[in-house]
A and B are shown apart, each in its own frame.
Chain A
Amino acid sequence: DTGVSQNPRHKITKRGQNVTFRCDPISEHNRLYWYRQTLGQGPEFLTYFQNEAQLEKSRLLSDRFSAERPKGSFSTLEIQRTEQGDSAMYLCASGVGPGATEAFFGQGTRLTVV
């Protein structure tokens, strides 16, 4: 399968715990994005990487959130000291662009904080 892969698909965690999500983009895609989607809403941008460089961060990405793409391939998104408000679908996208190929999404990681 050559699509964007995200792991895990589901994560349930207790409030205050740290969680880490992984995204494997489509091979050779230099652009990688993280988005967050809450119930009934469209996805909201969190951060953008071009190769290994994190070029843009949303103000939604509080100090508890950190994202890396160490070798310009896979990326991780870590949330420290999770809160119930962090419960959401976390979507990763990769692409080359701009244009029709600039953002292909993975299946997402659904986080539930209890």
Chain B
Amino acid sequence: AQKITQTQPGMFVQEKEAVTLDCTYDTSDPSYGLFWYKQPSSGEMIFLIYQGSYDQQNATEGRYSLNFQKARKSANLVISASQLGDSAMYFCAMREGQGATNKLIFGTGTLLAVQP
């Protein structure tokens, strides 16, 4: 069964430093998608970055990059040059297949606190 594991309940980082949020996944399907979302205290889930299982290169979106290590089944989020506004919950999620199953499975999240 598909599963997402986020082992860091909380993280601190100094402003302007880089931080890595860990995510490992488990699936037997060769085709899948991996997502990261940010959830501020307001509750909205903000899409950050996507990685397809067949994508050859690691995804990047501005200050966000996804360190995709397929053999290790890990999809860590790297935030460069942290800002105070990055303080939020971060969720890793996975979708198996290419459309037969469309649901996302989420991890339990990592609470990031950026310190000035």
Contacts and interface: CB of A to CB of B under 8 A. Distances in A.
Interface of A: 31, 33, 35, 40-45, 48, 50, 55-56, 58, 89, 91, 93, 97-100, 102-108, 110
B6 to A, nearest CB: 8
Given A56-B101, A99-B50, A43 B44 contact: no
6 contacts: A33-B102, A98-B98, A100-B47, A102-B33, A105-B37, A106-B44
Contact of B102 (A31, A40, A43): A31
Interface of B: 4, 33, 35, 37, 42-47, 49-50, 52, 91, 93, 95, 98-99, 101-109
A45 B96 CA distance: 13
A105 B45 contact: yes
A43 B43 CA distance: 11
